[in-house]
Amino acid sequence: MKKLDDITDLREAIATHAGALAAGDSATAERFVLAQGIEAHRQAAAEIGRIGKPVNVETLALAKVGFQYISKIRFTNGDAMRRVLYRWRKEGDGKWVIVSVEDTTSKRSSWSDVPNLAAAIEQARVGNGNA
């Protein structure tokens, strides 16, 4: 049986990053983000900032995809909510960084806007009489 990865340091990075976002500390949060993901990160952070304080942080999922990890975090305060996916990668120096960010708050599923998948689902729905 394959040995599970020790990702304690990743879990700590995720918690530090999410805590910084919840506190409105963009400087700390952005230290984790690569240049290619910074704009999407800033947009998601701005939306999280609109929630109002205190912001509660809930880890919904953490999954390994190849050599990277996807974390799904929900930020809430009362009825206000943002749900965001972060793709993490471990650099050669051992530091965990965010490669990409996707705000999935308004999506039914993370896959909802994938054109080929959306078309295939619609075709399947029509083909089976919407069963």
b/e map of 30-47 (b: 16 or more CB within 10 Å)?
Answer: bebbeeebeebbeebbeb
Whole-model pTM: value is 0.79
**Which residues fall within 8 angstroms of residue 82, CB to CB, at 6 or more apart?**
44, 47, 48, 51, 74, 75, 76, 103, 105
Q: Which residue in 60, 64, 61, 59 sits closest to 6, CA to CA?
A: 64
pLDDT at 72: 96
Contact 59, 73 (CB under 8 A): yes
Is the confidence at residue 94, as pLDDT, over 60? yes
pLDDT per residue as tens digits for the range 64-85? 998 899 999 999 999 999 999 9
**Which residues fall within 8 angstroms of residue 78, CB to CB, at 6 or more apart?**
52
The alpha-carbon radius of gyration of the chain (Å, integer) is: 17
Give domain limits for the chain: 8-106
pLDDT per residue as tens digits for the range 13-43? 999 999 999 999 999 999 999 999 999 999 9
Is the confidence at residue 131, as pLDDT, over 60? no
Instruction: Provide the CATH number for the domain formed by 8-106 in this structure.
Output: 3.10.450.50
